[in-house]
Amino acid sequence: MTVVPAGRRNEERSPAMTNTRDDAAGEGNPLLATWDAPFGAPPFAAISVADFKPAFETALQRHRDELAVIAGDPAAPDFGNTILAMERAGGDLQRVAAVFFNLAGTDTNDEIQAIEREIGPVLARHSAAIYQDQGLFRRIDALFRKADTLDLDAEQARVLERYHTAFVRNGAALTPQARERVGKIGEELAALGIKFSQNVLADEKAYALVLDGEADLAGLPEPLRAAAAHAAEERGLAGKHVITLARSSIEPFLQFSSRRDLREAAFKAWIARGESGGETDNRSIIAETLRLRAERARLQGFESFAHFRLDDSMAGSPEAALDLLTTVWAPARRRALAEEAGLHALSEAEGNNYELAPWDWRYYAEKKRAAEYDLDETALKPYLQLDKMIEAAFDTANRLFGVSFREVHDVPVYHPDVRAWEVTDRDGAHLGLFLGDYFARPSKRSGAWMSGFRPQQKIDGEQRPIVVNVLNVSKTAGDAPTLLSFTDANTIFHEFGHALHGLLSDVTFPMISGTSVSRDFVEFPSQLYEHWLMRPEVLSRYAVHYETGAPMPADLLERMIAARNVNQGFETVEYVSSALLDLELHMLDPDADFDIGAFEKRRLADLGMPEGIVMRHRPPHFAHIFSGGGYSAAYYSYMWSEVLDADGFRAFEEAGDPFDRETAKRLYACVYSAGGRQEPAEAYRAFRGRDPIADALLEKRGLAGA
């Protein structure tokens, strides 16, 4: 076994993205031209990296000019000349930014990363200039104060409220000095977030655990061997096997490798991302980020950044979020400690005399699952093919909402691995374009997410969305089907739930389109969608053997469903510890000597973190909260939304049919198509007929009574 840098063979741009271009500026720039590809997709083959900077410069200036006209309009403000005009402005910038940042996450290189570092603060400065523009704010504030007299429909009133909230939360109502400082903080945070993300990606790319010979492969099932062989070939190491730091590679390695020394080496590299002590070390970035966020919150009159962030959320306050997390923590910790004792006993029965370490947990948990349920991952994987799970997600959407998916091959894509489908409604009308980018590669950041190249809106005619799901599944060589872990299959359903939230959107205004909802509601449609993967009605049709085509045997299906809450104490503790630390970090006012490592160690000790478990996301690579502000002080959102999804799926169970037509119709109308036209709590009540019942969460996780 050796550890070597992960080569650069896969970093070249795909044929769809070239590196140089002679006509990068002016009318020849394809990013600024009319996109006449099928479905209005971006013309990736015509775009070069050199196009981005001039396109950003032109689009930024056009947006500034458009906003100056609105702010300087001598006519009295009304909805049309102010709010509607702002919704129409910035189209070029939205298109350029959507293409650029999607590529920066999925198929980056040194040139793109350099532009990202440069453009991030520029865009933050541009955003601050908009939301702190006093001419714009006076018009919006005047409209907001007399909203009840404007004869607005419900959607218009909601958009006006969201604009006013956005301006206030970005400092428009502060003194000139405070506004200037808030803007400067935004620029600094943008630069820090980009650097954090690029550091994590660099650490992930720089590591490869090379397995050389059968002794290094001990315990590994054939699908994992095949994926590791393909990863080795990509790095010029044909004949060997490579485990990467992609979750779909390292987690199954930790489950199955009987080489404890290799599990330890891989695990330690995995949890040390962003903590190398060198140029890619993120600890000083974390400290500075926390200080800047705390300063911003104080400038805007809040006790902490967590209080500022959650003021505009379903939870309303960090105390409410903490209350949920601590309620779950106690039974989860009790269950995890019981699981730990059982795993230790299993290890001792094998003749081992060591304490259970974090790199042992998944290995013995897999053994325990096999022993208690006669079930292991190797038995499941042959029935969980990537293509079939994609079909299952599509068919579920068809049965719930009447939508269909037709793969198209004449649409430009940004990488050869990307696939495209046209989405139509039950009458055959076009709903959107869905892209799937499923495989891990060195040029892609880790994780899984949904994003978009174009939002749905209809302020000037119908504009249908272009949505993308990005995963990091380990690719197999040649034509062999890609086989998934159950976790990977679940991730496909989760991210596709987000995709449907964007694709089915049916609102007028971009401000409230698709997933433009509060962070602790946005996970509800995606987590709810996961429930259908576990339904026998779905698995019996799509969980078929990759060689024989035979459906998963009924007894195996029953055992898999029965075992769904095995190791749930571990999984809940792993998540909740990350969410608690996120909130508590953002309730601090850190000093100049803040040490994130010491804080992490001290706080986990106070919580009584089981020795065999490490946080799902340690701070140095916690991209959710430090690579931009998306989930900062909001990682709790997954569990907040899980209360909704656990209770929400009960509506189908109460109807006696997981595809009940009337329940699905309410879900479509109130959630998937509704965007942000209502407050999230109102949207949930409209779907469910009442507020959620929190006990559904503990029942779903198998922690009731723990």
Kindly indicate the confidence band of residue 21, based on its pLDDT and cuts at 50, 70 and 90.
Answer: very low
> For 356, which DSSP code?
P
% of the chain surpassing 70 pLDDT: 96
CB 189 within 8 A of CB 124: yes
Q: What angle do CA 169, 174, 175 make, to 5 degrees?
A: 160
Q: Is the pLDDT of residue 7 over 50?
A: no
The Cα–Cα gap between 414 and 102 comes to 9
E strand residue ranges, 236-368? 241-243
Element (H, E) at 226: helix 222-234
Q: At 3, phi and psi to the nearest 5?
A: -115, 120
Kindly indicate the confidence band of residue 705, based on its pLDDT and cuts at 50, 70 and 90.
Answer: confident
Please give the pLDDT value at position 27: 67
Q: Does domain 26-131+133-169 have CATH number 1.20.1050.40?
A: yes
For range 556-579, the mean pLDDT: 92
The Cα–Cα gap between 118 and 53 comes to 9
The Cα–Cα gap between 76 and 143 comes to 10
Q: Name the catalytic one among 495, 571, 584, 642.
A: 495
Q: Is the pLDDT of residue 13 over 50?
A: no
The Cα–Cα gap between 52 and 65 comes to 20
C-alpha distances out from residue 340 to 261, 346, 348, Å: 20, 10, 12
Structure tokens at 152: 């607005």
Q: pLDDT tens across 411-422, in order?
A: 999 999 999 999
Residue 495 designated active-site: yes
End-to-end CA distance of the chain: 42
CB 599 within 8 A of CB 652: no
The Cα–Cα gap between 570 and 343 comes to 11
Please give the pLDDT value at position 8: 30
Q: pLDDT tens across 581-622, in order?
A: 999 999 998 887 899 999 999 999 999 999 999 999 999 999
Parallel, antiparallel or unpaired: strands 466-473 and 449-454: antiparallel
CB 343 within 8 A of CB 361: yes
The Cα–Cα gap between 397 and 467 comes to 15
CB 593 within 8 A of CB 288: no
Kindly indicate the confidence band of residue 26, based on its pLDDT and cuts at 50, 70 and 90.
Answer: low
Q: What is the DSSP string of 162-187?
A: HHHHHHHHTTTTS-HHHHHHHHHHHH
Place of tokens 């989860």: 332
The Cα–Cα gap between 412 and 43 comes to 6
The Cα–Cα gap between 73 and 54 comes to 29
Structure tokens at 66: 């458009």
The Cα–Cα gap between 11 and 32 comes to 27
Q: Does domain 382-562 have CATH number 1.10.1370.40?
A: yes
Please give the pLDDT value at position 22: 43
β-bridge mates for residue 405, sequence order: 423
Residue bearing the bigger pLDDT, 211 or 591: 211
% of the chain surpassing 90 pLDDT: 87
This prediction has a pTM of 0.92
Please give the pLDDT value at position 1: 37
- Smallest Cα–Cα separation from 498: which of 318, 625, 645? 645
Residues near 556 by beta carbon (within 8 Å), at least 6 away in sequence? 375, 379, 380, 383
Amino acid at 188: E
Q: pLDDT tens across 252-304, in order?
A: 999 999 999 999 999 999 999 999 999 999 999 999 999 999 999 999 999 99
- 426-456: string of b/e by CB count within 10 Å (b at 16+)? eeeeebbbbbbbbbbbbbbbbbbebbbbbbb
The Cα–Cα gap between 508 and 522 comes to 19
Please give the pLDDT value at position 10: 33
The Cα–Cα gap between 342 and 348 comes to 10
The Cα–Cα gap between 643 and 697 comes to 5
For range 610-639, the mean pLDDT: 95
Q: pLDDT tens across 388-427, in order?
A: 999 999 999 999 999 999 999 999 999 999 999 999 999 9
Residue 644 φ/ψ region, left for φ over 0, alpha for ψ in the -120 to 50 degree band, beta for the rest? alpha
- Write down the H helix ranges in 634-679: 637-655, 661-667
Alpha-carbon dihedral angle through residues 350, 351, 357, 362, given to the nearest 10 degrees = -10
Q: Is the pLDDT of residue 519 over 80?
A: yes
- Smallest Cα–Cα separation from 385: which of 546, 272, 586, 156? 546
Lowest-confidence region among 146-150, 541-545, 591-595: 591-595
Amino acid at 500: L
The structural domains of the chain, with segments of one domain joined by +, span 26-131+133-169, 207-271, 382-562
Q: Is the pLDDT of residue 19 over 60?
A: no
